[in-house]
Amino acid sequence: MKILSVVGARPNFMKIGPIAKEVARWPDLRHVVVHTGQHYDFNMSGTFFQDLEIPNPDIFLGVGSGSHAEQTGKVMTELEKVIQAERPDVVVVVGDVNSTMAAAITAAKLCVPVAHIEAGLRSFDRSMPEEINRVVTDAVSDLLFVSEASGLENLDREGIAKEKLFFVGNVMIDSLLKNIEQARNGRIWERFGVFPRRYALLTLHRPSNVDSQDALEEILSGIIEISRLLPVVFPVHPRTRNKIMEFGKKDVFANEGDTKNGSDRTRGIILSDPLSYLEFLSLESEAKIVLTDSGGIQEETTVLGIPCLTIRENTERPVTVTLGTNVLVGRSGKRIVQETDRVMRGEFKRGSVPELWDGKAAERIVSVLRRKAG
């Protein structure tokens, strides 16, 4: 049986890593990994293969940057040739990036079964490109692997046949649980001159937050206020860095510098280039609070028991709010400060780990693949 997995962007790699390891355990399975190159910067892509011990991709499409339409079209054009040449038994796609949707459509049109890992998540916000990718991918998939109960409800409401649905848990948590001890031992916080549970960690990259000057300034107003009391470590996404400079907010970079040798910082915003998976997980695991607009980080903080403020009006991962440590704060600088104050006073909810987020999702997924797609 030949499984062809498609990855393209940073969020995909944490999800395909455990799958690759589990597939390798079975001599009757052959795994072909295709990297579309949607994220082409080494820190956004290459280091993840090292950290997660994933074999180098068998095929690299080199799609690179571009508009949503350009990326989707390039992936479909190049991947069609690969699928026709490799003739896989199933194409596995993960998450909700442009490469995910493009690969799913391409495989479905070639009549190759599609398996979608992380199916059924919905924000119900069609202004998010990822939401379109999720809906379309699920509509053409044959095997839908669901990470939380809301996904089953969403897919049932959309009329997806129950025999296609498999509640398997969260494969990204497989990666977290396997690597958390190594990440903590890395003590990356020392590089930034901060101390465990005495700093905030920030990520910010969504177009709705960083492409609008008004939205970005409102968010930064809250972050700057927080940084006067608690140092904020901010690995900056290339898109966000460009927008900060474009909007004339380069004063945010006042504390940027060589942090590799550590420093005596007690406050302020400490910026860095994007971090590897293990470096980021190290920082995340010992943060007092995490502020983010990322989907996966909401899940990681829930398992780690770290308070998380999500700088969005909605989330496609509602279990992180209902059971986990996540709170939606929107783009309000005032709300960001208020919720951070609650954390500092020890008034934040503790949360619990959702069902089947136990590090065994990959085992369940590969078991289904062998049974259903072989």
pTM summary value: 0.93
Model pLDDT for residues 296-333, shown as the tens digit of each residue: 999 999 999 999 999 999 999 999 999 999 999 999 99
Contact (Cβ atoms closer than 8 angstroms) between residue 353 and residue 177: no
Q: Considering only CA atoms, which of 306, 305, 303 is closest in space to residue 289?
A: 306
Question: What domains lie within the chain, and their CATH numbers?
Answer: 2-170+357-372 (3.40.50.2000), 178-344 (3.40.50.2000)
Contact (Cβ atoms closer than 8 angstroms) between residue 310 and residue 219: no
pLDDT band at 265 (very low <50, low <70, confident <90, very high): very low
d(CA 275, CA 121): 26
d(CA 179, CA 131): 29
pLDDT at residue 266 in the model: 44
pLDDT at residue 107 in the model: 98
Contact (Cβ atoms closer than 8 angstroms) between residue 274 and residue 235: yes
Three-point CA angle 293, 165, 36, nearest 5°: 50
| pLDDT above 90 for 41 | no
d(CA 335, CA 291): 12
Contact (Cβ atoms closer than 8 angstroms) between residue 340 and residue 323: no
Pairing status of strand 232-235 against strand 200-202: parallel
Q: What's at 336, amino acid-wise?
A: I
Contact (Cβ atoms closer than 8 angstroms) between residue 98 and residue 133: yes
Contact (Cβ atoms closer than 8 angstroms) between residue 67 and residue 123: no
The answer to whether the Cα torsion of 250, 253, 257, 260 is positive or negative is negative
Which position among 31, 116, 205, 237 bears the catalytic label?
205
Specify whether 31 is catalytic.
no
